[in-house]
C-alpha cells in the first residue's frame, strides 16, 4: 500500500515536470488540488489556488527562453516528493516576479522542489531557488561617477519644468501646429528672458521637438498632454503641480511626525475638504482619470469579462475605469459608486461617450453604508491605499459580502513588489499617502491577497497591468 502510494505520487510529479517542459499549463493544473499553495521563498511569492498558480506559470514561462531542466535526484514518501534539479534558461521578459537578475541574463539555477501530496494531487509546491549571487563591484572615488545620484537629487528640476509646461498649456497650444519660440512665448504670456531656455529644456527632456527654431509636440505629448483630446492624462500632473509639489517639500516633517502635510493637516478630513469645493473636486477627479487610464484599458483587455454581466466601480471618480470597461464589452452594464457630489461630474463624463444607458451612478459612502451595491464584479482602483489596515480589511469584507458565489473583486494600484525593492513608484506613492492621509499606505500583491483570503475569497492572483500598476483579483 505504501509502495503503491509512492509510485502514484512519483507519477503525478513526473507528469507535472513533463507539462512544465512542454509549457502545457492546462495539463499541469489538474495535478493540483483546488486549494493548492505555490511558493517561491527566494522571490517572496506565496500563491493560493489553481487560478493564481496558472497565472504565475503563464507569466513565468513567458519570460523564459531556451529552457533546459535536468533532474539530479528525486525521492518520495506517501505524502511528499522531493526533486533536486538544475534549470538553465535565458531571462527574456519581466513576468518572472522578483527575479533578481536583469532581462537578458543567462541563468544557471539549482532548484529544489518539495511537493506535499494529498489524494494523488499536489497540495503544496515549494520551489527553493538558489540564484547565483550578484557580485558587488569595486568602486573608488577616481572611477565612480556621481551622475546618477546627482540626477536623482536634482530630479525636481525636470519634474517642475514638465509640470509648469502642463500648467501653461504648452502642449495644448502646439497641438494646433508648430510655432516659433517668440510666438509661442507670447501666446503663453512668458517673459522674453525665460522662454528659450524653458522650451529647449523641454526639447532636452524629450517633451518637445525643435527644427530651425520652430517647436512642436512629440507624438507622445501631442496624444497625452493636449487638453482638447480625450486621451489627455495631464489632469494628474495638474494636481501634482497645484497640490503635491508644495506638500512634498514637507516630506521630512511627515517622516518625523507620521502626520499628513497637505492643506487639511490642521483642519478637517482630507476627503471632506476635497469634495466640498467644486473646482478642486473636478481637478482631483480628472486627475484620477488620467492616472487610471492605462490600467483601466488593461483591465478591460485582460480580465475575463465574458464570464460576467454586471460590475460596480467603487470610488468611481469621473468614471474613467467604468467607461473603458463598458466601451470594450457591450454586453456589460455597470454603475459608479461614490459620494453624491461626484454624480454630475460622472454623468457628464459618461454622457460624452454615449454610455448613459449602460452606466448609472449610485451615491453612497462605502464606510457609512451597510453594504456595497451588488454586482458580479466589484472594482476598486486607487482606493485601498487611502486607508489604514483596519479600514482596508473592512472594505474588502464589504466587497466579499456584496458579490455572488464566483464573483470577482479587482483591486488595482501601483502595487509594491513583494520584495519591496523594484517598484519605486509604488513605494513613493505610499510616501504620498503619508503626506496626504491620516493612515493610508500602499502595499504588496501578497499583502492584498492575504487580506482577501482572510475575508473569505477562495482564490487570488496578481497580474501586471500597465507601467507600475498591477491588479489583485479575488474570486469568491
C-alpha cell at 404: 455572488
Which member of 385, 400, 405, 464 is catalytic? 385
Let me know if 345 is exposed, middle or buried by CB neighbors in 10 A (0-12, 13-18, 19+): buried
Let me know if 114 is exposed, middle or buried by CB neighbors in 10 A (0-12, 13-18, 19+): middle
Q: What angle do CA 348, 349, 355 make, to 5 degrees?
A: 95
How many C-beta neighbours within 10 Å does residue 206 have? Answer: 10
According to DSSP, the residues that pair with 180 across neighbouring strands are 214
Strands in 140-180 per DSSP E: 179-180
According to DSSP, the residues that pair with 323 across neighbouring strands are none
Q: Give the position of cell 453594504.
A: 371
C-alpha cell at 120: 494523488
Contacts by 250-258, CB closer than 8 A, 24 or more apart: 250/435, 251/431, 251/435, 254/431, 254/434, 254/435, 255/434, 258/434
Cβ atoms of residues 170 and 203 within 8 Å: no
Q: Write b or e for each residue in 406-426: b if 16 or more Cβ atoms lie within 10 A of its Cβ, otherwise e.
A: ebbbbbbbbbbbbbeebbeeb
Name every residue whose Cβ is closer than 8 Å to that of residue 121 and which is 6 or more positions away in sequence: 12, 31, 32, 33, 36
Q: Give the position of cell 516528493.
A: 81
Name every residue whose Cβ is closer than 8 Å to that of residue 236 and which is 6 or more positions away in sequence: 287, 288, 290, 291
Task: Say how far apart CA 284 and CA 318 lie, in whole Å.
Answer: 9
Q: Is 400 a catalytic residue?
A: no
C-alpha cell at 466: 500597465
Q: What is the DSSP letter of 416?
A: B
Task: Say how far apart CA 44 and CA 225 lie, in whole Å.
Answer: 38
Integer-rounded Cα radius of gyration of the chain: 26
* Overall size of the chain counted in residues: 476
Task: Say how far apart CA 410 and CA 449 lie, in whole Å.
Answer: 11
Indicate which residues carry an active-site annotation: 385
Amino acid at each position: 500500500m505504501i509502495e503503491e502510494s509512492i509510485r502514484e505520487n512519483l507519477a503525478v510529479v513526473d507528469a507535472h515536470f513533463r507539462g512544465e517542459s512542454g509549457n502545457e499549463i492546462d495539463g499541469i493544473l489538474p495535478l493540483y488540488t483546488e486549494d493548492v499553495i505555490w511558493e517561491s521563498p527566494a522571490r517572496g511569492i506565496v500563491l493560493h489556488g489553481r487560478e493564481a498558480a496558472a497565472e504565475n506559470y503563464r507569466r513565468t514561462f513567458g519570460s523564459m527562453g531556451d529552457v533546459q531542466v535536468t533532474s539530479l535526484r528525486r525521492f518520495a514518501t506517501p505524502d511528499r516528493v522531493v526533486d533536486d534539479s538544475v534549470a538553465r534558461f535565458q531571462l527574456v521578459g519581466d513576468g518572472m516576479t522578483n527575479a533578481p537578475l536583469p532581462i537578458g541574463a543567462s541563468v544557471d539555477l539549482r532548484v529544489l522542489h518539495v511537493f506535499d501530496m494529498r489524494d494523488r494531487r499536489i497540495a503544496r509546491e515549494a520551489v527553493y531557488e538558489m540564484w547565483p549571487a550578484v557580485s558587488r563591484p569595486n568602486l573608488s572615488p577616481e572611477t565612480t561617477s556621481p551622475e546618477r545620484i546627482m540626477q536623482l537629487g536634482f530630479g525636481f528640476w525636470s519634474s517642475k519644468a514638465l509640470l509648469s509646461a502642463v500648467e501653461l498649456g504648452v502642449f495644448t497650444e502646439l497641438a494646433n501646429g508648430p510655432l516659433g519660440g517668440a510666438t509661442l512665448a507670447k501666446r503663453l504670456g512668458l517673459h522674453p528672458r525665460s522662454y528659450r531656455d524653458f522650451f529647449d529644456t523641454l526639447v532636452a527632456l524629450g517633451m518637445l521637438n525643435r527644427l530651425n527654431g520652430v517647436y512642436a509636440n512629440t507624438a507622445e505629448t501631442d496624444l497625452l498632454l493636449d487638453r482638447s483630446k480625450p486621451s489627455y492624462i495631464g489632469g494628474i500632473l495638474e494636481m501634482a503641480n497645484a497640490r503635491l509639489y508644495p506638500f512634498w517639500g514637507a516630506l521630512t516633517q511627515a517622516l518625523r511626525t507620521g502626520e499628513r502635510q497637505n492643506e487639511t493637516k490642521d483642519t478637517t478630513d482630507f476627503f471632506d475638504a476635497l469634495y466640498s469645493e467644486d473646482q478642486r473636486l473636478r481637478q482631483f477627479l480628472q486627475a484620477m482619470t488620467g492616472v487610471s487610464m492605462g490600467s483601466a484599458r488593461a483591465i478591460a483587455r485582460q480580465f475575463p469579462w465574458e464570464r460576467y454581466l454586471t460590475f460596480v466601480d467603487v470610488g468611481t471618480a469621473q468614471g474613467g475605469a467604468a467607461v473603458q470597461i463598458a466601451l470594450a464589452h457591450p454586453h456589460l452594464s455597470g454603475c459608479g459608486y461614490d459620494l453624491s457630489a461626484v454624480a454630475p461630474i460622472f454623468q457628464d463624463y459618461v454622457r460624452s461617450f454615449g454610455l448613459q444607458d449602460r452606466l448609472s451612478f449610485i451615491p453612497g459612502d462605502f464606510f457609512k453604508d451597510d453594504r456595497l451595491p451588488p454586482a458580479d464584479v466589484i472594482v476598486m482602483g486607487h482606493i485601498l491605499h487611502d486607508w489604514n489596515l483596519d479600514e482596508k480589511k473592512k472594505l474588502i469584507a464589504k466587497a466579499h459580502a456584496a458579490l455572488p458565489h464566483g464573483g470577482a473583486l479587482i483591486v488595482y494600484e501601483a502595487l509594491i513588489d513583494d520584495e519591496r525593492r523594484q517598484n519605486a513608484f509604488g513605494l513613493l506613492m505610499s510616501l504620498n499617502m503619508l503626506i496626504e492621509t491620516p493612515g493610508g499606505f500602499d502595499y504588496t500583491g501578497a499583502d492584498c491577497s492575504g487580506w482577501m483570503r482572510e475575508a473569505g475569497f477562495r482564490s487570488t492572483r496578481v497580474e501586471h497591468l500597465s507601467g507600475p500598476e498591477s491588479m489583485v483579483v479575488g474570486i469568491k
